[in-house]
Amino acid sequence: MLSSNRRDFLRLLGTAGIVSLGAVPPRFLVQAAETPGIAARDKRVLVLIQLAGGNDGLNTLIPFGDPAYEKARPGIGFSKDQVLKLNDHVGLHPSLTGLKLLYDEGKLAVVQGVGYPNPDRSHFRSMDIWQSAQPQNENPRDGWLGRALEWQFERQPALAEALSLGTDKLPLAFVSTRVNVPTLRRLEDFQLVDGQGSATNRELTRTTLKQLSGQSATGELDFLRRSTTTALTSAERLKSLSSTYRTTVSYPATGLASRLKLIAQMLTADLPARMFVASLDGFDTHSQQQPGHAALMAELSGAIQAFEEDLVEHKLSDRVMLATYSEFGRRVAENGSLGTDHGAASMLFAVTPTGTAGLHGTHPSLTDLTDGDLKYNLDFRSVYATLLDKWLEIPSKAILGAEFPTIGIC
C-alpha cells in the first residue's frame, strides 16, 4: 500500500505531467549534472568506429601496384590513376580525401593484413570474435571493452564510463557483468518529456517539477524526489551541450558525422566518459558494390576529418585516439553481381595523436590465398593490446587473457 506522502507526491506529479527520459541517463551525465566541477581534460579517450557488414579492405586500401588486383576485379577495381596514392604499391579509395589529408598531416595510421586464426565468414560469429576478443569462445558473455571497464571500475570508478552511439542494441564489445554502458541512437533519446499542450503549460510543468524536486522528504518520497531531480538535471545538462558548444567546423549531414559531433560536444563539456563506440552500417556489399561503397567511404572520411578538425579547434586532439574495425574483409575476386562476398583478413584505420602515422604491417598477398581469402599477418588482438597498454594504460593481458605484441599506432 502506498504511503500518504508517496500518494501526494504522485498526485502532484500527475498534475504537472509525465517526467521521463527515453532511456536511463548515462551515469557520467548524472555525475556531471550533480557535480558540475567534475572534469576529465587530462584523461585519454578512445573512439571506435564499427564498420558493420564487413568492409572491403581491398577497395579501401587498394594494392594498385599488384597486377593480381586488376585481374581479380575487372569490374569493380580502381586504376592507379584513380586511387589516392600512399606509395608506389597501395593507395586509398578515391572517396577517402579527408583521410588522405590526415595521412599527409602525419595523423593517420593504416594497419594492413589484420585478422585472426581460422576465420569465420558469418557476420554474427565473426563480430562476436572481434568484440569479445575470444576466438575460442563460441558463446561469449562479455566484451573486451566491458572487461576493460571492469578493470578500471575496480581502481578508478569515475573513469569507468562509456557510451555506444548509433545502434539500438549495446554492442557485445561493451557488455560487462559489473558496468552498465548506455546506448544512444539520437541525442533526443535522453530529452525530457514534460507533458503536452501549449508552451505555457509545459513551462508550468517544469516549474512545478523543480519545486517538487526541491522539497525535503524521507523514505519513498525522497527516492522519488531524487529521481525527479536526476531526470531534470540530466535533461538540462544534455540540452546545454548544444547551447554552449561552439565550433567553426562544418560537419557533413550524415549519421556518422552527427554521432562524432555529439562525442565532440561531450568532450568539450568535460564529461568524464573515456570510451565511445559509434556504428556505421551498410558494408555487406554483395552486389553493385562501387556506388554504395563509395558513399560509405565518403561518409567515413568526411565524418572523421570534421571530428579531428573539431578536436584540434578545441585543443582536444592530443587526448583522443580513434580507430575503425569491421568483422571481416571481402573475398579477393569480385562476384558475378559486381560485388564481393564475405572474406577474411582486412585493414583498419587509426587517427593517432602519439603514435607513428603511415603504413603498419605487411599487405597480404593477392595470390597466396586460403580458399580465395587473404591471409592475415597481424592478429587483431595486437591492435587491442596496443590500445589498452599504450593508450588507455590498462594491462592488456588481464583483458585479452594472453600477451600480444603491440604495434606503433600509439
How far lies 181's CA from each of 96, 150, 248, 321, 407, in Å?
31, 11, 31, 20, 28
Residue 99: CB atoms within 10 A of its CB come to 26
315: left (phi over 0), alpha (psi -120 to 50) or beta: left
CATH of residue 117's domain is 3.40.720
Residue recorded with cell 533519446: 189
Integer CA distances (angstroms), 305 to 107, 165, 299, 338, 357, in order: 11, 18, 10, 29, 15
What whole-number distance in Å separates Cα of residue 16 and Cα of residue 10?
Answer: 10
pTM (predicted TM-score): 0.84
The CA distance from 394 to 363, in Å, is 29
Q: Is residue 262 part of a domain?
A: yes
pLDDT at 27 (0 to 100): 61
Interval 221-246 mean pLDDT: 58
Residues 6+ apart with CB under 8 A from 234: 21, 25, 29, 30, 33, 190
Within-domain flag for 115: yes
Helix (H, G, I), strand (E, B) or coil at 166: coil
Alpha-carbon distances of 76 from 143, 192, 300, 371, rounded to whole Å: 35, 48, 20, 21
**Number of separate domains in the chain:** 1
CB 144 within 8 A of CB 176: no
In a domain, 196, yes or no: no
Expressed as residue numbers, the domain containing 110 is 24-187+252-400
- Quick: pLDDT tens for 259-268: 999 999 888 8
| Alpha-carbon gap, residue 233 to 228, rounded angstroms | 9
Cα distances from 10 to residues 2, 7, 231, in angstroms, run 10, 5, 15
Q: What pLDDT does 39 receive?
A: 47
pLDDT at 19: 39
Report pLDDT digits (tens) over 57-112: 999 999 999 999 999 999 999 999 999 999 999 999 999 999 999 999 999 999 99
pLDDT in tens, 336-382: 999 999 999 999 999 999 889 999 999 999 999 999 999 999 999 99
Does some domain include residue 172?
Answer: yes
For residue 192, tell me if it sits in a domain.
no
Q: What would the pLDDT profile of 281-326 be if each residue is shown by its tens digit?
A: 999 999 999 999 999 999 999 999 999 999 999 999 999 999 999 9
Task: Give the DSSP H/E element, type plus range, for residue 16.
Answer: helix 4-16
- Confidence (pLDDT) at 8: 47
Q: Which residue has the higher pLDDT, 384 or 178?
A: 384
Handedness of CA 271, 353, 304, 151 (dihedral sign): negative
CA separation for the pair 410, 407 (Å, rounded): 8
